[in-house]
Structure 1
Amino acid sequence: MEKRLVAATEIIEQQLDAEIEKLDNLDNDDLDAIRRDRLAAMKKRQQKNLITVYKQEWVANGHGHYTELQDEKEFIETINKSENVVCHFYRDQSMRCKIVDKHLQILAPKHLETKFCKINAEKSPFLTDKLSIRILPTMCLVKDRKASYIQGFSEFGNVDDFTTETMEWRFGLSKVLEYEGDLRYPPSVLQRNKKGMAKKTIRGGRKGEDSDSDSDY
């Protein structure tokens, strides 16, 4: 046992000596690189800590859930507390409002940075009139207390079966959520382009392959 401890100690000492020698032989460029790496690591830790603080604040403000606001006062409180807000002005009898509900329920837990909520337009006549809301559904997008509006489905292709990704992309254009895709094109266009490229590849075939091979297209 004693011999093994001595051997282990010698190995550790050799490793320490090697590290010390390596440090002694570093030039200024090497030291600068180490400093840059350490600074980058520190910034990364600080950013991670900051994101954790933000998430705690968002959750405390009700982010992560699609909630209903009871009145105009709660609407004002919401846009004062949260930097990014998507508020759906709805009517109970509207099928299109129910479609919006479905998509916002999916987006709320995905984008903690945004407060997703809704308010009954018929029960909030003062606010509805103040914001000049005439079409339902209307989505009020608030970024730093500055509002823009999406009325009806015209910006989603004017169809009822648009995807949640399309709505997410449109919200990304207004910067009320952090969109990770390509803002230049809606997801439907990118998807069609990918399918078109796949068709060309399959139909054209590859050198040495049968161009009439089976496909899903």
Structure 2
Amino acid sequence: MAGMNSNAVVEQQLIAATQIIEKQLDAEIERLDNLDSEDLDAIRRERIAAMKKRQQKKQEWIANGHGDYGELYDEKDFFEATKKSENVVCHFYRDQFDRCKIVDKHLKILAKTHVETKFCKINAEKAPFLTERLKIRVLPTLCLVKNGKTKDYIVGFTDLGNTDDFTTDMMEWRIARADVIEYNGDLLCPPTSGGRGGGQRMDIQHKRTIRDGMKRNDSDSDSD
């Protein structure tokens, strides 16, 4: 009997909650229906202004080298890039490493689809001071920078499914976890072959920052 009463209470609560939601929807619909031409014009102007601002920002990004996957030639270029761009993804590589070429393939694609972020790469052998300062021991390593501060690292392919055949979507998802690109998918669920956010939910801890140091175990190392 107690169970039946409990079920009845829950059912009443659900009905009440549904009614509240319906009333809120009805009120919003009524509000939209009652908008006069001045209100609609104001909304339209706001949207146009937002679109113009976004387009202007996009032009600024492109003028700053966004949209292309470019090469940085020394430490000075790296620090300059992190000063000029709010979001930076920098790939530390060596020419002889095949895995670095795999990363290049994916970052070339992402650079074109995420113009809000500067994608670049730097030869670790030409930037010894920087690689030492960032404690980079394994290549490829991606350094993810936001507002001039290192937020995260992607070291080798461990966070990308631990395979050389990971997808561009997987790389995009992993970079997005550092909040250096705009992403609409589920950050807790890595993408599957079928698309974004369809994989098993997982929790990847953020990588070490500059101060923390980094433990590396990838097969490609710049100390080879």
Give distance in 1, aligned partners of 2:96 and 2:51: 44
Which residue number in structure 2 is paired with residue 47 of structure 1? 50
Which residue number in structure 2 is paired with residue 74 of structure 1? 77
Deviation at 1:123, TM superposition (A): 1.1
Which residue number in structure 1 is paired with residue 155 of structure 2? 151
Alignment pair present for 1:121 and 2:153: no
Deviation at 1:33, TM superposition (A): 4.2
Which residue number in structure 1 is paired with residue 213 of structure 2? none
Specify every segment of 5 or more residues in structure 1 that has no aligned partner in the other structure, as ranges. 1-28, 196-217
Give distance in 2, aligned partners of 1:85 and 1:76: 11
Which residue number in structure 1 is paired with residue 93 of structure 2? 90
User: What amino acid is the match of 1:149?
Assistant: Y
Deviation at 1:180, TM superposition (A): 2.2
Give distance in 1, aligned partners of 2:111 and 2:142: 14
Specify every segment of 5 or more residues in structure 2 that has no aligned partner in the other structure, as ranges. 1-31, 200-224
Give distance in 2, aligned partners of 1:119 and 1:105: 14
Give the secondary structure class of the aligned counterpart of 2:163: coil
User: What amino acid is the match of 2:167?
Assistant: T
Deviation at 1:193, TM superposition (A): 9.4
Give the secondary structure class of the aligned counterpart of 2:179: coil
Count of residues in correspondence between the two structures: 168
Give the secondary structure class of the aligned counterpart of 1:185: coil
User: Is the Cα contact below 8 Å between 2:67 and 2:111 reproduced in 1?
Assistant: yes
Which residue number in structure 2 is paired with residue 19 of structure 1? none
Give the secondary structure class of the aligned counterpart of 2:41: helix
1:106-185 equivalence runs, <5 A: 106-147=109-150, 148-185=152-189
Give distance in 2, aligned partners of 1:161 and 1:71: 30
User: What amino acid is the match of 1:175?
Assistant: D
Pick aligned residue for 2:65 from 33, 42, 62: 62
User: Is the Cα contact below 8 Å between 2:66 and 2:119 reproduced in 1?
Assistant: yes
TM-score by length of 2: 0.69
Give distance in 2, aligned partners of 1:118 and 1:192: 26
TM-score by length of 1: 0.72
CA 1:192–1:35 in structure 2 vs 1: closer, same or farther (change >3 Å)? closer
Give distance in 2, aligned partners of 1:192 and 1:72: 35
User: What amino acid is the match of 1:114?
Assistant: T
CA 1:191–1:58 in structure 2 vs 1: closer, same or farther (change >3 Å)? closer
User: Is the Cα contact below 8 Å between 2:73 and 2:122 reproduced in 1?
Assistant: yes
User: Is the Cα contact below 8 Å between 2:68 and 2:111 reproduced in 1?
Assistant: yes
Give distance in 1, aligned partners of 2:114 and 2:145: 15
Give distance in 2, aligned partners of 1:34 and 1:103: 48
Deviation at 1:162, TM superposition (A): 0.3
Give distance in 2, aligned partners of 1:154 and 1:194: 19
Cα RMSD for the two superposed structures: 2.4
CA 1:37–1:115 in structure 2 vs 1: closer, same or farther (change >3 Å)? same
Deviation at 1:30, TM superposition (A): 7.4
Deviation at 1:102, TM superposition (A): 0.4
CA 1:36–1:125 in structure 2 vs 1: closer, same or farther (change >3 Å)? same
Moved over 3 A (4+): 29-36, 189-195
